[in-house]
Structures are given as C-alpha cells and as structure tokens.
Amino acid sequence: MEVIIRPTADEAAELTSRIIKKSILEKPNLVLGLATGGTMEVVYDKLVCAHKEDNLDFSLCRTFNLDEYIGLPVEDKNSYRYYMNKNLFSRINIDIRNTYLPNGMAENYTAESKKYERLIRENGGIDLQLLGIGRSGHIGFNEPLSALQSRTREKALTPVTIEQNEIYFEPPESMPKRAFTMGIGTILDARKIVLLATGEGKAGIIAKAVEGPVTSMISASALQLHPKTTIIVDESAAKNLEEKEYYHWLFENEPEWDEYK
C-alpha cells in the first residue's frame, strides 16, 4: 500500500483521473472498476474533460461498478446506474452495453450475485478498481464485519451509512436498507486499486484503515493485504495520519510519480 497526499481535494481527484487516463492509454480495453458517491463526481468530470479535450478513448473499455441499491429501478435518480449514466457514461464514448452494475431489481439475490461474479471473470477480471470510503470504513457496501474473503452478495446497510446517504433521498426514509456489493475478496482480486478520500470528515476513518490493524470492522483496512494499492488523500483527509512526512517524501522522491508533477 502507498499513500499519496495532495494539497487540495481537486488535486487529489486530478491525480486519480490521471492514473485512470494513463491506464486506458496503456490498455485501451481496460476493465475498470468504478465507485459512486460525491467524491467521485469530480473524478468523472475530469475524465469527461480528458475525453473531450484530449480525445481519451473509452470505446473499448468495460466497467464494473462496486454496488447498487436493492429495490431501485434504473430510472430512479438515486440508483447507482442513474448516477453512472448521468455523471460519466452519457458524457463519454463508452458502449453502454459494456458498463455493468448489479441489477437492483433482481429478485433472486444469490443468482444475481453469482451472475455478477461470473461476468467479471468472463471479462478477464478487473484491471484497475477505483474506490471511495464510507464513514463506516466500508468499500463498496462492505459494512463492518464483512468477511475479508467475501464475494458479491446482498448486504444490510448500517445506521451510519444510512445517515450518510439518506440526504440524497426524498423523503430520507425511502432510502433502501439493503444493497448488492462486490465482496472484499472480489475487490482484492483487482490487479490495481486506487482509493480516493477527501475532506476532514474522512480523516478519522482513513487513519484507521491505513495505519490501524487489518480488521473486518473496517473493511478498507483489508487493502493493506493488496500488493498494488494507492490511497490518495488531500491534506484534510490526511490530518490524522502519523507517517504523513514519509508519505510526502514518497511522492516527492519516488520516480513513478515524476510524470504526475
């Protein structure tokens, strides 16, 4: 795991989008794992810019989202399919048939989860997985106590997550209480992982996930087990990290980061 601290949220999102851009240039048929949430909207805006201004070509890319609410049809503006179409897919030249999310309306949860795992496998596995982090420490919707080897399944959401996300729903109580999510094991199978967290609200959970013990109570801590994970934070989200000086030094001195300066 490596930690990169950028001065502002915008610069952290910029670095994240440039890593994605470089991966697509290196492998045009990249299998990209995608996340939702407010943090990612900036990243998607930057990818749209890269498409419009630098001709970044998504035509051969395939994407798999981490999760989807159970019970929301695709046309519901709070479904993650709606979010992805609005924030990214409708604004770039991706073939919509190559964009995958779990079907939130599926009635057989086990069959839908197995199908999603199979689709990921059939597409050759995820090359680059983008992640945010929830206040409960979740990645995807892997709430506390999710098994570190879990696969795609349906999961009950915690009160913390419901409180964090219900602001988007009208009325707030209409927020679904369950979701499909890739498992932690599914996420750890990705060849490379980038987690982006910005803002002071994430400082506490980032310090626990990055510098605390690996524990199923904080599913993001499982990323410590992955050989190619980069955690990108802004100064605010880095606030509680103990080894900040070392992380700054890494960005300034490791040759792999030269091209991003």
Binding stretches for ligand GLP (CB under 6 A)? 35-39, 66-67, 132-134, 140-141, 161, 165
User: Least separation, in Å, of the C-beta of 122 and ligand GLP?
Assistant: 23
Q: Which is nearer to ligand GLP, 16 or 165 (CB)?
A: 165
CB of 105 or CB of 250, closer to ligand GLP: 105
Nearer to ligand GLP, 127 or 176 (CB): 176
**Residue 144 or residue 250: which is nearer to ligand GLP going by CB?**
144
Q: How far is the CB of 139 from ligand GLP (least distance, A)?
A: 7
Q: Minimum distance between the CB of residue 115 and ligand GLP, rounded to whole angstroms?
A: 20
Least separation, in Å, of the C-beta of 252 and ligand GLP? Answer: 27
Q: Are 16 and 43 in contact (CB under 8 A)?
A: yes
Contacts of 247 by beta carbon, 8 Å cutoff, 6+ apart: 2, 3, 4, 5, 238, 241
Q: How far is the CB of 135 from ligand GLP (least distance, A)?
A: 7
Residue placing its CB nearer to ligand GLP in the complex, 60 or 148? 148
Closer CB to ligand GLP, 98 or 142, in the complex: 142
Min dist CB 226 to ligand GLP, Å, is 16
Q: How far is the CB of 141 from ligand GLP (least distance, A)?
A: 5
Q: Which is nearer to ligand GLP, 58 or 102 (CB)?
A: 102
Through-space distance between the first and last CA atoms of the chain, rounded to whole angstroms: 20
